[in-house]
Chain A
Amino acid sequence: MASVDGGIGIVEERDFLFGDKPGDKLRLDCGKEFGPVNIRYESYGRLNPARTNAVLILHALSGDAHVAGRHSESDRKAGWWDSMVGPGKAFDTDKYFIVCSNVLGGCSGSTGPRSTDPLTDRLYNMDFPVITIRDMVNAQHRLMEQLGIERWLSLAGGSMGGMQALQWAVSYPGSVKSVIAIATTSRLSPQSIAFNWVGREAIMGDPGWMGGEYGEKGPEKGLSIARMLGHITYLSDESMARKFGRNLQNLKDYAFDFSHNFQVESYLRHQGLSFVERFDANSYLFISRAMDYFDLSEDSGGDLAAAFAPATADFLVVSFSSDWLFPPEQSRHIVGALRKRGLDVSYCNINSIYGHDAFLLETGTIGKLVSDFLRNQFAEVEP
C-alpha cells in the first residue's frame, strides 16, 4: 500500500447507507425524521482485535472524507490532511484505524441538498432539512455502529471538525476516550454568524442560484464571493502582509483599472474560482447554517461547564495566537469549562502568524502534540 512519497498510497471511498426504512431514519434537531442517508467515508489502517485503536477525524466546512492518500495514480492532489495522516505520521496508520466521513449535508458523497429525494425523485435543494452539528454527529454515530466500533480512541477535528468532536463528547460520552479540538469554539460568535450571513447573501443573491434550483452551472459568482470572504477570515493581517505585501500581480505599475492588480486580489480570485469547481452552493448554505446554530451551552442556559456534565473524555485543545475567526479566548473558554468539571485537559495556544488556516499549516507542532497525545491515550487502553 505504501507509496514512494512515504504517504498512505492509494485509498478507496466507501459508502454506508441507512435510514431507508421508517424505523431506521435519522431524527433531526429540526424535528424531522430523515432518510435514506448515505455517508461517504474513508478508512486507513486496521482495527485491532480489541477494537481500541479507532480514531475518527472530522472535517471542516469545505473538507471531505478524503483526508489522506490519493484515489488513483494520476490523482494530482493528496487528501486534505495528508501531512498528518499516514504510516509513521501523527495519525499513524500503522498503529491506529483512522476513519473520516463526509458530513451530512455535504457535497462530496454524503447525502446533502444535491442528493435525490426518493419521494419526489428530484434533488432536495432547498427542501433539504436544515441540519445541525449534532445531526452530523448522530449520522457519524450510525457509521460507528456499522463499523463495529464501540469507543473511539480519539475524535479529532479543526474548526467545524472541532465542534463535532466537542458535540460527540457530550452526546456519546461512553463512545469517546479522548477529544482533539483544534482552532474551534463551543458556540459560534456573532462575528462568525455575520460572516456566514454575508456569504450566504452572496450565494442567494446571485441570479444563477434560482432559489436553489440551479442546474449544472450554479451560482458561481456568489459561491466564489462567499469563499473569498471566508478566506480572508482564515488568514491574518500579518500572514497576508508577509505572503503578498502590496505586491502587484504581473504588473510594473498600477493598471488604473479594476482587474486584479494586487497579488492578494489575484490569490483571492483564484481561491474563489477553484472552490466553485469542487464545492456546491446549496451545501455551503446548509453547512454554514449548521455552524451558526452550534451552541454547546444552549441547553444549559449558557453555562458551558454544565453542558460538559456528561463528558468523561480526556481533551487536547489547541488554538493559534493569530486566529481571529475562532480566537484563543474561545478555546480558553472551553478549557476553563472542562477544568471546572475536573476533566483531564491539555491546552496549547500555538504561536503562529497563519490565522485560522494554521490548523492546516502548523502541522509540525500539531503533529507532535497529536502523536504524543494519541500515544499516551493508546497506552491507557492497550491490554
Chain B
Amino acid sequence: MKTILRKELDDRPDLLAIFDLIEPSSKVMDLGCGEGILLSHLKLQKNCPVCGIEISQEKILECVARGVPAIHGDLDDGLEGYPDNAFDCVVLSQTLQAVHRPDKLLRDMMRVANRAYVSLINIGHIRARLQIAIGGIMPVTHSLPSQWFETKNIHLSTILDFRNLCSELGFAIDKTVPLGYRSHFLARLWPNLFAPMCVFVVSKGGG
C-alpha cells in the first residue's frame, strides 16, 4: 500500500513527508486537497477521519471517486463555518502563496485545528535568487513554473519569511523538514538557500 502512495506522490515529496508525520487516527482536513490522494491514503492506511476542500470541479469528482469526502470551495472564503478545534490537524500544501491573505488563513487554520502541516515553496532558494539577482528577472522554477504575469502565486515567501510570520502570529514551529531536489543534504544544511520546498509542523505555541 505504501508503495502505491510513493508512486502516486512521486512528484510530491512534501505530501510524502506530511503523510509520514501525521499520527494514525487523527482527524485531518486538507485545504486544497486536489484529487484526494493524500487523504485517501491517510484514510486507508492510518485510519484517519478525513475531509478536504478543493476549488476545482474536476478534482472534486476525483475525490468522490476515491471515496474521500471533499467540499467544493474557495479557501479565500475562509473556514468560517468550522468550529474551533474541529480537527487534530490541517494540511496546506503548496497553496499558502496562492491565497489572498496567507496570514488570515494561517490564523483560521490554527483556530480549527491544534496543528498545521504546511508545505511552502521557498522563493529564497538559490535558483530563484540567481534568476532575480543575476538574470534580473522574476524566477521561473520547477515548483514555480508560471511567468510573473500569469501566476496564481501572489504571495510568495521564503522559509525565513514564514518563520517570521509564525512568530508574529504567536505560533510555534515544532518541526521543519527541508526538501531538496535530489538530495536533502544541502537543503538541511542551509534551508533558506538550498531547499526549494519545506514542510513545517506548526502548533499553537505558548499562547
> A369, B61: Cβ atoms under 8 Å?
yes
Interface centre among A339, A342, A345, A350 (most CB of B within 10 A): A339
B89 shortest CB reach to chain A, Å:
15
> B64, A344: Cβ atoms under 8 Å?
no
B75 shortest CB reach to chain A, Å:
14
> A344, B51: Cβ atoms under 8 Å?
yes
A266 to B68, CA, bound (A): 46
A350 to B56, CA, bound (A): 10
Known: A335-B71, A372-B65. Is A346-B82 also a contact (CB below 8 A)?
A: no
Tell me if A220 is interfacial: C-beta within 8 Å of chain B. no
> B61, A347: Cβ atoms under 8 Å?
no
A314 to B63, CA, bound (A): 14
- Chain A positions 316 through 356: 1 when the CB is less than 8 Å from some CB of chain B, otherwise 0: 10000000000000001001100110101111111100000
Q: Select one of B57, B71, B83, B86 contacting A346, CB under 8 A.
A: B71
Tell me if B123 is interfacial: C-beta within 8 Å of chain A. no
> B51, A339: Cβ atoms under 8 Å?
yes
B36 shortest CB reach to chain A, Å:
10
Which A residues are CB-close (under 8 A) to B73? Answer: 332, 347
A376 to B60, CA, bound (A): 15
A351 to B61, CA, bound (A): 12
Known: A339-B51, A339-B71, A376-B67. Is A346-B60 also a contact (CB below 8 A)?
A: yes
> B57, A348: Cβ atoms under 8 Å?
yes
- Chain B positions 112 through 143: 1 when the CB is less than 8 Å from some CB of chain A, otherwise 0: 00000000000000000000000000000000
- Total A-B contacts with CB atoms under 8 angstroms apart: 57
Tell me if B46 is interfacial: C-beta within 8 Å of chain A. no
B29 shortest CB reach to chain A, Å:
9
B197 shortest CB reach to chain A, Å:
29
Which A residues are CB-close (under 8 A) to B81? Answer: 336, 339-340
A314 to B65, CA, bound (A): 14
- State the interface size on chain B (CB cutoff 8 A): 19
Q: Select one of B51, B64, B82 contacting A316, CB under 8 A.
A: B64
A346 to B83, CA, bound (A): 18
Which A residues are CB-close (under 8 A) to B69? Answer: 314, 344-346
Known: A335-B71, A344-B51, A345-B71. Is A369-B57 also a contact (CB below 8 A)?
A: no
> B64, A373: Cβ atoms under 8 Å?
yes
Q: Select one of B64, B65, B68, B82 contacting A340, CB under 8 A.
A: B82
A44 shortest CB reach to chain B, Å:
24
Tell me if B72 is interfacial: C-beta within 8 Å of chain A. yes
A250 shortest CB reach to chain B, Å:
39
Q: Which residue of B lies closest to A317 (CB)?
A: B71
Known: A346-B69, A346-B71, A348-B72. Is A372-B64 also a contact (CB below 8 A)?
A: yes
Which A residues are CB-close (under 8 A) to B83? Answer: 340
Tell me if B18 is interfacial: C-beta within 8 Å of chain A. no
Known: A316-B64, A336-B81, A373-B64. Is A347-B71 also a contact (CB below 8 A)?
A: yes
- Chain A positions 343 through 379: 1 when the CB is less than 8 Å from some CB of chain B, otherwise 0: 0111111110000000000000100110011001001
A348 to B86, CA, bound (A): 22
Sample (9) of A-B pairs whose CB atoms are under 8 Å apart: A316-B64, A339-B51, A339-B86, A340-B81, A344-B49, A345-B51, A345-B69, A347-B72, A376-B67
Please provide the 4 A-B residue pairs with the shortest distance between their CB atoms, ordered closest to farther: A336-B81, A376-B67, A372-B65, A344-B69
5 further A-B contacts with Cβ under 8 Å, apart from A342-B49, A348-B64, A351-B57, are: A345-B69, A347-B71, A348-B72, A372-B64, A376-B64
Report which B residues bind A (CB closer than 8 A).
49, 51, 57, 60-61, 63-65, 67-73, 81-83, 86
